[in-house]
Structure 1
């Protein structure tokens, strides 16, 4: 896809750097930084462009389109003009965000700051009101009713989701801050946290929703294709496919979060970790009826990557979380889905030219598929 951008912008290939890649629709969307040459030797911050081969239609195009407008072979846009998220370009700037916040009774807020962005899917921005932070989520307009109805269903079940301040049909939702402190910033006991997550999963399963969950298994082929040059990745993909096929008849679908990990959790903080309780749950957007192995696999995969990246002085506690979670939840199917998550993380590492990390991730996938415990070379 880099060649499409090079040709469209008429720039030298060395001016374009891949920064992200992920599946979308029938293809993918990739982000590239393009070196900005403003003349006179003044090279400013790079510009971020996205190349989208999803073949998905949009309400209005915001950049260059190649092929049929209803199902383009590719489209290119300059961030933040994401055609799938028509409200993003406006809400990213202070005046539009301030107007929306004012309609919800919030005034004197700061300019929006990007916190997270998944091109073609969603963006999260933060604005600071005088007394608290407020979170702005921008999604596809077609998903707004599902997300709001899911939040209502979670509230009715007593789940600790952030309060919705307001929303608009063009795909913008305003959230209050979650109650408590992000789990990554709180002391917690690994065994107790896994027990609490089990209790949370039971409560999630009681939420009433008609929506279906799209699980990580749907991305297996895309991840494998992206790593087709790696024999270790091919082995992981083959073993994961076999394990999923062997356990397909064991699946009893239930309502599942879809991306449950401790980065989605807020905890009450007593300063010791002994009595910290889950007080906030984020990102219930994708919650739906699906494979109950999805959430434990996502939780263990996220914890494994976190353990690999955690400073040495705090690493053992995170590895303990991985070990306890895998010992409680590590069915053959959970291990297979874990391995698919590792393929995704490995592909991202390859895109960042992190060869050692990609190799460690794939090694851990193989170990877990074989019934073992993941680890790192520094442990």
Structure 2
């Protein structure tokens, strides 16, 4: 694999900030958003910009070409106000997530939690951030961690409704401490221990996962799941082709194995073992991150589970990686049945792996990216027993 030319957003940012010619602009991430993309860029410019007092050394900016409307700009934008051609903001001032910047600071988080009867006992920690989509902040409190999810205001009511529907169906989700229309959702910790910390018998875990999937299928929601996997395949393919000259052959294999399938049931939308919690006997006691749940293709959940297991196995050092590869092989054997093949299970899993590979390539982790592309190729048409074999 090789590094492609700097993305055009880097030049856009240089012009917008009037950076010195020798300023360093390092790409951090790039992913689709709306009708365009959002690109994270780290700026290092010891001499500053033409704007007096502007601090640009080792800070992260985002360049957004999604053309999505926001209630208020938090940086600056070009083009029409209702759908700017591009906008630039300094993290964490994400205009799509107006509640993100306030909760990123300890005092604001403390005030928010105090209103919910929670006493903060430590500084907030960013756990996850997808620009324009969501942020997750963990805050220690006197009674355990509070998890603050920051979401687009337009989605918060639906997500609270999903939590209510899942809870009504008896699916164990973390309790909601509170939420607000500006996009804040404050959750209690999930019950039990993370499955990822103690992977046990693979078949027993998959039995539990299938039981959970059956319960999710009975949840009373009517909107579509937010997976968008086919659209993401197009995005991953366009970007990976810039990194790997041989990628075209793999892309053709993925597309040949893809099967369109009508949504048939309620799915989680992003199901993997990192979302699951269990008791000492290996019984599932909790599931998190149901924001994407809705009516969708069942293979989207099984494919996400398989791909996450493979990506985790690639990252896990020996000898523990053997357990994770065993789970991935068991998942491939179990769900590569007639129904899975009709829904393009393998191609959907490979698509997820292309996304993982692109993330690694964007971070210049060439060895991991290459390993993930090899795994994606193996998932497409190799026997389950060869998955992860060297």
Aligned to 1:325: 331
Pair 1:299 & 2:305 matched: yes
Rounded to whole Å, the distance in 2 between the matches of 1:342 and 1:310 is 16
Query: What is the SS of the residue equivalent to 2:312?
Result: helix
Bigger shift: residues 29-38 or 126-135: 29-38
User: Could you say which residue in structure 2 is the equivalent of 1:35?
Assistant: 44
State how far apart, in whole Å, the 2-side matches of 1:44 and 1:57 are. 27
Residue 242 of structure 1 aligns with which residue? 256
TM-score, normalised by the number of residues in structure 2 = 0.90
Which residue of 6, 23, 30 corresponds with 2:14? 6
CA contact (8 A) 2:35 2:67 kept: yes
Cα distance in 2, alignment partners of residues 308 and 241 from structure 1: 24
Task: Report the alpha carbon displacement of residue 193 of structure 1 after superposing the two structures with TM.
Answer: 0.6
Q: Is the deviation greater in 316-325 or in 327-336?
A: 327-336
Q: Distance in 1 between matches of 2:356 and 2:123?
A: 32
C-alpha spacing 1:320/1:13, structure 2 compared with 1 (3 Å): farther
Q: Structure 1 residue 79 and structure 2 residue 88: aligned?
A: no
Distance 2:69 2:56 in 1: 33
1:315 is displaced (CA, Å) by 1.1
What are the Cα deviations for residues 95-121 of structure 1, in whole angstroms up to 9, with x where unaligned? 221221111111244332111101100
Is there any run of 5+ residues in structure 1 with no aligned partner, and where? none
Inter-partner Cα distance in structure 2 for 1:199 and 1:90: 40
Greater displacement, 287-296 / 229-238: 229-238
**How do residues 360-375 of structure 1 correspond to structure 2 at under 5 angstroms?**
360-373=371-384, 375=387
- 8 Å contact from structure 1 (residues 19, 32) kept in 2: yes
When the two chains are superposed, the root-mean-square deviation of aligned CA atoms in Å is 1.8
Aligned length: 367
Are the aligned partners of 1:124 and 1:137 in contact in 2 as well (CA < 8 Å)? yes
Deviations 1:331-350 (A, max 9, x none): 33110101111111111121
* 1:42-61 deviation digits (Å, cap 9, x = unpaired): x9961011111111110000
Q: Which runs of 5+ in 2 are unaligned?
A: 1-8, 49-54
Alignment of 1:83-232 (within 5 A): 83-215=95-227, 216-229=229-242, 230-232=244-246
Partner of 1:233: 247
- Determine helix, strand or coil for the equivalent of 1:126: strand
Distance in 2 between residues matched to 1:264 and 1:340, nearest whole Å: 20
Structure 2 distance, partners of 1:44, 1:86, is 22
